[in-house]
Structure 1
Amino acid sequence: MPYLLLTLAALFWSGNFVISRGMHTDIPPLGLSFWRWLVALLILLLFASHHLIRQHHLVRRHLRFIIVQGLLGVAGFNTMIYLAMQTTTAINAVLVNSCIPVLIAVCSWIMFREALTVRQGCGVLLSLCGVVSIIAKGRWEFLLSVSFNPGDLLVLLAALLWALYSTNLKNYPRELHPFAYQSGIVVSGLIVIFPCYLVELSMGKTMTMGIPTLLSIGYVAVFASILAFIFWNKAVRTVGPNKSGPFIHLMPVFSTILAVLFLGETIEAYHLLGIALIFSGIMLTTFRVRPSSKL
């Protein structure tokens, strides 16, 4: 079950990357971040109000943890990604974002002395090769032509923030209801995002209202903000950050599948190779085959 949740989270976030790049001229980055989380909070409160009232003492006791997670996962990671997508390409973003499993392993060791096993390390490397295969279209010399820009540094910063967020889930209070936690981190993130959004508005950067804008905000609010976060949080707390990290590499796989289904693109051999490597890496990282005992 946790691996299904991780897979769905990667699927929902794949759409978020595509939308943030495709709509960057119609929705300014901080505007998308603010309205995404405001809409998500309003929806969450329909389900979370009861839990917030019932667990208000628990929320206050762990307020520092909730605030830190809100700053890392809501205000930090997503805002950095949206800002980066103004100046970088989707290819660069996916390439840099693919270092998240490695950063999670580093953060896990620094914060909790949780070392990455040799098997897990090989799995991360194998799935990373799959990501690179898809992005390079099977031509490794293509990577030499990729140029990086300041936006890629924002993606790298976002990746580090997400690694810290995911690793810090080991401190999640076991009794705290997921809806209460999710509402708390969204409120914490919005407190930081709102003044930044006002500055963006004062610079004349406003949204182009229309059906595509409303649908984009609706998607990232429901799927990328509520469901993906709840799924990811639950799964990471169950199997740990090191086993969860490689599932980030499923994002280019889902992007490829979505392009085939909705954009009429075709599956090439390098797609199949990359997908096979990614799934092999994930299997190596998450599952261990135990020898059967002799009768």
Structure 2
Amino acid sequence: MSTRQWAVIGLLTTALAWAGNALIARASAGMLPPISLSFWRWSCALLLLLPFTAKGVWQYRQILLTHWKRLVILSALSISSYNTLLYQAAQSTTAINLTLVGTGLPVAAFFWSLLLLRQWPARATLCGAFLGFCGLLLILAGGQPERLLMLEFNDGDLIMLAAVLSWGLYSVLLQRWVMPIPGLVLMAAMLLCGVPLLVPFFLWELVHVGSMPLTWQAAGAVGYTAVFASLVAYVAWNNGVKVLGPATASLFSYLTPVFTALLGVLLLREQLHWYHLVGGALTFLGLLLATRWPQVSR
């Protein structure tokens, strides 16, 4: 398959992995401290990845040291901020609000692309974004548009908005600050920067909230998020941004609630409704339209 097709498959995998992450965020709210979950997730991911990338990190040390400021900023926006803010937001808002605010990711990516890259998305990308957004709203509304007018927003939604802006900026800077480093080595370097940035917040939560419980549920949450939502998803996302650009890659975030609904049907035995099928079809059609043609006009 072509590089473009592999990028699309990787972004589909990312959306699926993030759907599982969303289920864990919802299920662990009130049970697992959010900063601790983020800290142990990334620490385990680093321990798993470092044995395979330590030689590469040393080999590319001069490039990494040359770009250390950029590396720290990228790590802070992604490793340290995005998921920590998402887990924190899940403590005080509903799952549907989290998903609805999360739909702003393509808008954030469009905004940062225009501001920093002077790039305006192509017409096909905008049309695909509109179709995907309509499909997503249909799912969130449960086939009843008036339900969207009844939503109430709170502090957790503002935290999720900050997470969306952080991830959008990370995606755009990742394309702007291209570093000649293999994907896994870059990921390891970002973890080496991002995990220490989480330590002060982790220690604060440890003192004021308490430690993570030593249970199988907590271990499972950390294990899944470390392997699939961290290593697999981030490497695939970074490659997708590199190949397709941040504006188009961000559209795949629309699939996260679609996959979340499907996982709910398969794993939680939730009922499958017509709006799941129609909304999912519109979302996939929008992504097909957005990824079929060149993505950016200047």
TM-score, normalising length: structure 2: 0.94
CA displacement at 1:266 relative to structure 2: 2.3
Q: Deviation string for 1:206-256 (max 9, x for gaps)?
A: 212111110110000011111100000011101111121110000011111
5 Å-filtered alignment, 1:174-189, equals 174-189=179-194
Matched, 1:266 2:271: yes
Choose the corresponding residue for 2:145, options 140, 153, 158: 140
1-side partners of 2:192 and 2:32: how far apart? Answer: 22
Greater CA drift, 115-124 or 69-78: 115-124
Aligned equivalents of 2:261, 2:205: Cα separation in 1: 33
1:292 is matched with none
Q: In structure 1, what is the Cα distance between the partners aligned to 2:107 and 2:178?
A: 25
How far did 1:171 drift?
A: 3.0
Is structure 2 residue 48 aligned with structure 1 residue 48?
no
Counterpart for residue 259 of structure 2? 254
Q: CA deviation at 1:31?
A: 0.5
The match for 1:73 among 64, 69, 78 is 78
1:34 equivalent among 32, 39, 60: 39
1:1-295 to structure 2, matched below 5 A, reads 1-288=6-293
TM-aligned CA deviation for residue 64 of structure 1:
1.4
Q: 1:88-137 deviations in whole A, cap 9, x for unaligned?
A: 11110000001101110111010010101222111111101111110100
Deviation per residue, 1:11-43 (Å, 9 max, x gap): 101111110120122210110011011001101
* Equivalent-residue separation in structure 2 for 1:151 and 1:264 (angstroms): 28
User: SS at the partner of 2:58?
Assistant: helix
Q: Is the 8 A contact 2:117 2:176 kept in 1?
A: no
In the superposition, the TM-score normalised over structure 1's length comes to 0.95
What runs of 5+ residues in structure 1 fail to find an aligned partner?
A: 290-295
- The corresponding residue for 2:3 is none
CA distance in 2, matches of 1:171, 1:117: 18
CA shift, 1:61, in A, is: 1.2
> In structure 1, what residue type is equivalent to 2:232?
L
Distance 1:32 1:20 in 2: 9
Identity %: 36
| SS class of match (2:210) | coil
Q: Which amino acid aligns with 2:71?
A: I
Letter in 2 for 1:27: L
Give the conservation status (yes or no) of the 8 Å contact 2:124–2:293: no
State the alpha-carbon separation in 1 of the partners of residues 101 and 58 from structure 2.
Answer: 41
Deviations 1:177-231 (A, max 9, x none): 2122111211222122111111111114221211111011000001111110000
SS at match of 2:120: coil
Partners of 2:228 and 2:271 lie apart in 1 by: 26
Letter in 2 for 1:262: L
Give the root-mean-square deviation of aligned CA atoms.
1.2
Partners in 2 of 1:118 and 1:179 — Cα distance?
33
The C-alpha deviation readout for 1:45-103, integer Å capped at 9, x for no partner, is 01111101111111111111111100101111111111101101111000000110111
The count of aligned residue pairs is: 289
Q: Structure 1: how far apart are the matches of 2:209 and 2:172?
A: 38
Q: Is the 8 A contact 2:93 2:154 kept in 1?
A: yes
C-alpha separation in 2, matches of 1:267 and 1:110: 41
* Matched residue type, 2:200: P
Q: Give 1:174 deviation, angstroms.
A: 4.5
Q: Is residue 102–residue 124 contact of structure 1 (8 Å, CA) maintained in 2?
A: no
Task: Answer yes or no: is the 8 Å Cα contact 1:67–1:184 preserved in 2.
Answer: no
Structure 1 window deviating more from structure 2 (264-273 vs 144-153): it is 264-273
